């Protein structure tokens, strides 16, 4: 159990924000988080971003955003770990608070993915892969997801339609999320008719790229009760890595970093998968949703897809996922996505999820992946007065 | 005083490394640092890098380097804060160790600046400036340094030649540093004949861009004695920011972030400028060297240049700077530079600086700047059995 709690959350709509600069977009999320918390006293800012240097020609976002948010002078950096940048930024904030050297920290994930088109976006996304051995051969994130999915279908004797449940669930939930990019349902017959992106991955297996920003404010748990009516505890936090290149892995159907970081975070929190009420996972592709469920212990290898088929990922299912639409329907805003997951999980635990509410949600897992799973960041969140089912005292890390 | 000590250091030559990939370059520095420390057990890796996404089309360096360095699976991220990325990565390692959640951390700064030429490098460097208000107008880092220098010369009635001492000192020291890019002396007459880069800044006021990597390994101070024959304590650590854009500052001759981070780090260590034996500062431009000396309390405003004129910055002077050549003559390897400074400072405190040794060096300051000073990271290093002249107990931060 860490000594860190979330006292403020904020987000912008996930969509094209062509008329909004990076700094404005970040500010709108920060402003919402500051409004949500009972403080304006921020000591350090951790910006999660993956592609602003390539797509907006703007690096050095830490200082830029600190200044624009009225926090000129504060400690501020950018954290980059591909798509997992936002979650990795939260991880740095957790370490900073836990160190005692920082009292209150702001985490903001911000990304503008749609200002550029065509080859610019393709080249930028390929920087998250192994440039020398994958991207240089023309590989794209979608092409690598396709390799994993084709292998999965072959190994377990499945069809594309067996993955429909993931996207249908995501769209169903996003319909009630005013911040989501796609708020319409996805009928099974439409999923089946999806345009191929990289066989067998179709347009409906893959999350849309969009612009967005999300922010959370964290502080010591002891102080949190005075600074929020409903603090959310970060009970577990872990970051693990794997090879960037798929071909360097022993088994391309095992997300080793996802498994490692999930085990660490859950051990840290003193819980097991059976104690998790919902799971915001990284469904950038339906295959990643299935593999994440398996890596994190919610299904044996080869059976993650069955949770979708059997309706176990819905809001009232065994393990609800993508409860506000996930990457697939809320939209994938690059380095902001990991922070969106945390904001959404906090809303669930605070009981403020409206039509998206998972009944009785008190313990949630959020996991963000970078690239093809080369980085995985996992956080366990609980409502602050939650007691884990068994003592976590023995595990001090 | 932090509870963090440096137990291993490593660096590569600063030069063009066209035949070496990013991952190899990082590995050579890591290998040297691992050889220097009595451990191979690394829990987390903090990569400092500013431009690999733009110049090498490779982001996601944390996982990539962890894997390539034989540390597959470990926690690993990239930290970006423009030129200060390497020092900012060290700051994250300090927070991580101090948190108790990470036992031993590796910090590696790596940058390849010379694989691209012409407009590519110019556009990449401009990402460290305010894109919307500076870079879009054609401003470059050199042009902004020129604005500061012109104002300084005007305000204090000086000539370009008054800055010669900074570059001459840097070149004199680099002559004995086998890792330095420029190992030849710079005669005053040659400085005076420097080609204009952005008036009044000449080729000899500005640090050369180069490739390089440097690494340090840090752990809890209590464990450090068992893992190194000569641990170096990180007595103070601070990061502060300022506006990216020069025109947003009240006074373009006052490096507010440099001043703020230096004050915090020295307070943290329980010392004052009078107790500092040497200062590795960010002499990307001679004007930045003068302004850094002023911001950090070694000279009043307008008098930093006099320390160079009076020979007070030499190895036996009042406040030795750029003792292995600084950015000017060792070379400026972007996000690696902040880690080079730490490696060099550690060598000084360990008494291993050879011809570059500052006699009796027991307390050193290292400061890395990002952009035009939008980010400043300051660390105070001491030999591990050093006692500050007055108690730092009252200041727990």
One DSSP character per residue, A343-386 reads: HHHHHHHTT--GGGPPTT--EEEEEEEETTTTEEEEEEEEETT-
Residue A10 has pLDDT above 90, yes or no: yes
Residue A390 has pLDDT above 50, yes or no: no
The superfamily (CATH) of domain A4-117+210-230 is Thiolase/Chalcone synthase (3.40.47.10)
Residue B384 has pLDDT above 80, yes or no: no
Average pLDDT of the residues in A341-364:
98
Judging contacts by C-beta atoms under 8 Å, the chain A residues touching residue B60 are 80-82, 127-129, 244, 370-371, 374-375
Residue B393 has pLDDT above 50, yes or no: no
Which candidate from B51, B77, B371 shows the least CB-CB separation from A79?
Answer: B77
pLDDT band at B22 (very low <50, low <70, confident <90, very high): very high
Lowest mean pLDDT among A273-277, A392-396, B86-90, B320-324: A392-396
Which of A4, A25, A57, A63 is the mutation pick for testing B, counting most B CBs within 10 A? A63
Question: What integer best gives the mean pLDDT of chain B?
Answer: 95
Residue A302 has pLDDT above 80, yes or no: yes
B379: tokens are 């660390």
Q: What local confidence, expressed as pLDDT, does residue B386 receive?
A: 58
pLDDT digits (tens, 9 = 90+) for A26-41: 999 999 999 999 898 9
Question: What is the rounded (10 degree) CA torsion for A169, A170, A172, A178?
Answer: 160
**What is the rounded distance in angstroms from the CA atom of residue A299 to the CA atom of residue A165?**
15
**What is the rounded distance in angstroms from the CA atom of residue B221 to the CA atom of residue B168?**
38
Long-range contact pairs involving A155-159 (C-beta distance under 8 Å, separation at least 24): A155/A253, A155/A302, A156/A302, A156/A305, A158/A305
What residues 117-146 of chain A have any CB closer than 8 A to a CB of chain B? 123-124, 126-132, 135
Which of A4, A87, A234, A241 is the mutation pick for testing B, counting most B CBs within 10 A? A241
Q: How far is B38 from chain A (nearest CA, A)?
A: 24
**What is the rounded distance in angstroms from the CA atom of residue A38 to the CA atom of residue A365?**
25
Decide if B127 and A59 are in contact by the 8 Å CB cutoff.
Answer: yes
Q: CATH topology of B4-117+210-231 equal to that of B121-207+236-383?
A: yes
Q: How far is B164 from chain A (nearest CA, A)?
A: 30
Average pLDDT of the residues in A337-341:
98
What secondary structure letter does DSSP report for B357? P
Strand partners, A332: A209
**What is the rounded distance in angstroms from the CA atom of residue A239 to the CA atom of residue A367?**
10
Average pLDDT of the residues in B355-366:
98
The reported pTM is 0.96
Judging contacts by C-beta atoms under 8 Å, the chain B residues touching residue A106 are none
Q: Residue length, chain A?
A: 397
Task: Using alpha carbons, list the distances in angstroms from residue A67 to A12, A53, B244, B302.
Answer: 20, 18, 8, 26
Range B4-117+210-231: architecture per CATH: 3-Layer(aba) Sandwich (3.40)
Average pLDDT of the residues in B119-125:
90
Q: How far apart are the first and last CA of chain A?
A: 8
Average pLDDT of the residues in B286-306:
98
**Does residue A247 sit at the B interface (CB-CB below 8 Å)?**
no
The domain segmentation of chain A, as residue ranges, is 4-117+210-230, 139-203+236-383
Nearest residue in chain A measured CA to CA from B86: A77
pLDDT digits (tens, 9 = 90+) for A228-267: 999 999 999 999 999 999 999 999 999 999 999 999 999 9
- How many beta-carbon pairs under 8 angstroms link A with B? 219
Average pLDDT of the residues in A292-301:
98
**What is the rounded distance in angstroms from the CA atom of residue A163 to the CA atom of residue B280?**
57
B319: tokens are 């406040």
The CATH number of A139-203+236-383 is 3.40.47.10
Residue A380 has pLDDT above 90, yes or no: yes
Contact assessment for residue A208 and residue A183, using Cβ atoms and an 8 Å cutoff: no
Decide if A241 and B63 are in contact by the 8 Å CB cutoff.
Answer: yes
Strand partners, A375: A241, A370
Q: What local confidence, expressed as pLDDT, does residue B119 receive?
A: 86
The superfamily (CATH) of domain B121-207+236-383 is Thiolase/Chalcone synthase (3.40.47.10)
pLDDT digits (tens, 9 = 90+) for A100-147: 999 999 999 999 999 988 888 989 999 999 999 999 999 999 999 999
Name which residue leads in pLDDT, B119 or A151: A151
A178 in helix, strand or coil? Answer: coil
Decide if B239 and A73 are in contact by the 8 Å CB cutoff.
Answer: no
Which of B24, B66, B80 is the mutation pick for testing A, counting most A CBs within 10 A? B80
What secondary structure letter does DSSP report for A335? G
What residues 224-243 of chain B have any CB closer than 8 A to a CB of chain A? 237-243
Task: Using alpha carbons, list the distances in angstroms from residue A84 to A170, A254, A378, B79, B349.
Answer: 20, 18, 10, 13, 38
Contact assessment for residue A204 and residue A194, using Cβ atoms and an 8 Å cutoff: yes
């Amino acid at each position: 159990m860490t000594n860190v709690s979330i006292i403020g959350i904020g987000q912008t709509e996930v969509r094209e924000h062509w008329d909004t600069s990076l700094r404005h977009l970040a500010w709108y999320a920060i402003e919402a988080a500051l409004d949500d918390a009972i403080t304006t006293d921020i000591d350090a800012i951790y910006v999660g971003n993956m592609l602003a240097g390539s797509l907006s020609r703007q690096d050095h976002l830490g200082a830029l955003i600190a200044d624009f948010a009225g926090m000129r002078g504060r400690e501020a950096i950018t954290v980059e770990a591909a798509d997992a940048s936002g979650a990795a930024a939260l991880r740095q904030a957790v370490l900073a608070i836990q160190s005692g050297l920082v009292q209150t920290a702001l985490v903001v994930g911000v990304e503008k993915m749609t200002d550029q088109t065509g080859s610019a976006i393709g080249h930028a996304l390929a920087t998250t892969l192994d440039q020398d051995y994958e991207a240089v051969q023309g590989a794209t994130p979608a092409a690598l997801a396709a390799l994993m999915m084709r292998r999965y279908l072959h190994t377990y004797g499945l069809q594309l339609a067996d993955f429909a449940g993931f996207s249908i669930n995501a769209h169903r939930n996003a319909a009630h999320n005013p911040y989501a990019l796609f708020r319409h349902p996805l009928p099974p017959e439409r999923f089946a008719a999806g345009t191929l992106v990289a066989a067998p991955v179709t347009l409906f297996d893959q999350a849309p790229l969009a612009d967005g920003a999300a922010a959370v404010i964290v502080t010591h748990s002891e102080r949190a009760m005075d600074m929020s009516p409903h603090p959310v505890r970060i009970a577990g936090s872990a970051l693990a890595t794997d090879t960037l290149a798929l071909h360097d892995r022993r088994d391309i159907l095992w997300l080793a970093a996802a498994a490692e970081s999930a085990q660490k975070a859950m051990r840290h929190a003193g819980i097991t998968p059976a104690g998790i009420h919902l799971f915001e996972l990284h469904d950038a592709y339906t295959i990643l949703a299935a593999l994440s469920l398996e890596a994190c212990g919610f299904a044996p290898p080869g059976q993650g897809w069955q949770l979708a088929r059997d309706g176990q990922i819905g809001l009232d299912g065994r393990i609800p996922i993508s409860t506000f639409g996930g990457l697939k329907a809320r939209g994938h805003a690059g380095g902001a996505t990991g922070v969106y997951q945390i904001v959404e999980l906090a809303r669930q635990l605070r009981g403020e999820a409206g039509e998206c509410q998972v009944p009785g949600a008190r313990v949630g897992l959020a996991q963000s992946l970078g690239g093809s799973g080369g980085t995985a960041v996992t956080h366990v969140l609980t409502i602050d007065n939650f007691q884990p089912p068994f003592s976590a005292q023995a595990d001090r890390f």
